[in-house]
Homo-oligomer: A and B are copies of this chain.
């Protein structure tokens, strides 16, 4: 690996001039500039970011931690953050916490050592406590909120989405509705649960605590919960609202295992659309989320914060669409709408009671 010194030597200029020619070309005579550029190119010179960052005290790097890389929702979040970061001249290093607090902690420490200028995270429930170890680092929470103070959050209207899902089932004539919800120490689960309860209550429907089962967010959990909810033939819900994409798959498979046919014997609404929601049989009615936009916005808000943190007029470097919004300094909370997509996993109940 050739260094800037090699370039300077080859171009017959001093180290300082070589540096300037490459990073701030306008401060150098045209002739020397081309000479230096030529030398750099000839040597395949690539600046050593470690040295540059150490000196400049800024890495142009942001940390990105998702909770479950294998969940396509998180993968898309990650991709859109990375693409947006690149567009703004940052590189986002992606780590995966696997929904484990311990792994999340280690990921944070790892990133910390590499001095990211900001952090975008789909937090686990332990994150609020860990936040203290990140002094003055701009943080954006994505999809979920940990309750940590002073962080920007970019989420979806989970309560509203859950209301739509539940109301859809009620409108179809269902009265015996159960819910499979995620871990109740995760904000999305809590909010979707709240939307469900509210809507049930408002419709005057009875609340059956034993018909609301909580699980972690994986397919297994959905399978287990659904199995439990559906295995009492005479006394089971006629419809299910499932609070996340992976668990929905599990629930559908459990129903299938029990010989229940969707939507005739059981209606299911899932939260989050996905490839398999569309390809399963029957195609799933779901609440869909603007996933890509979620990632993009999270990143743009972070970038904006970084620009303001660093210099008074750094805004000039930002694209208009980021700037056109009023430019707040502090943390903001962005909430995007969801949408009900009606497919074939929901229909009126086979037997209407009452």
Give the oligomeric copy count. 2
Quick one: which of B46, B106, B249 contacts A113, CB cutoff 8 A?
B46
- Give the nearest-CB partner of A92 in chain B: B95
* A23 interfacial by beta-carbon distance below 8 Å: no
* A44 interfacial by beta-carbon distance below 8 Å: yes
9 pairs of residues in contact across A and B, judged by CB atoms under 8 Å? A46-B113, A49-B115, A50-B114, A70-B76, A72-B72, A82-B96, A93-B93, A94-B94, A279-B280
Contacting chain B: which of A51-59, A120-128, A169-177, A195-203? A51-59
Name the interface residues of A332-352: CB closer than 8 Å to any CB of B: none
List residues of chain B with CB within 8 A of the CB of A95: 82, 91, 94
Chain A contact residues: helix, strand, loop or mixed: helix
Quick one: which of B79, B106, B113, B276 contacts A48, CB cutoff 8 A?
B113
Contact A79 B70 (CB under 8 A): yes
List residues of chain B with CB within 8 A of the CB of A69: 75, 78-79
Name the interface residues of A107-150: CB closer than 8 Å to any CB of B: 109-110, 112-115, 133, 135
* A47 interfacial by beta-carbon distance below 8 Å: yes
Question: Shortest distance in angstroms between A316's beta carbon and chain B's nearest beta carbon?
Answer: 24
Name the interface residues of A281-332: CB closer than 8 Å to any CB of B: 281
Question: Shortest distance in angstroms between A95's beta carbon and chain B's nearest beta carbon?
Answer: 7
Quick one: which of B51, B76, B106, B253 contacts A279, CB cutoff 8 A?
B253
Query: Given the interface contacts A249-B279, A280-B276, does A135 sit within 8 Å of B78 by beta carbon?
Result: no
* A252 interfacial by beta-carbon distance below 8 Å: yes
* A232 interfacial by beta-carbon distance below 8 Å: no
Task: Give Cα A78 to B59, complex, Å.
Answer: 24
List residues of chain B with CB within 8 A of the CB of A49: 113-115
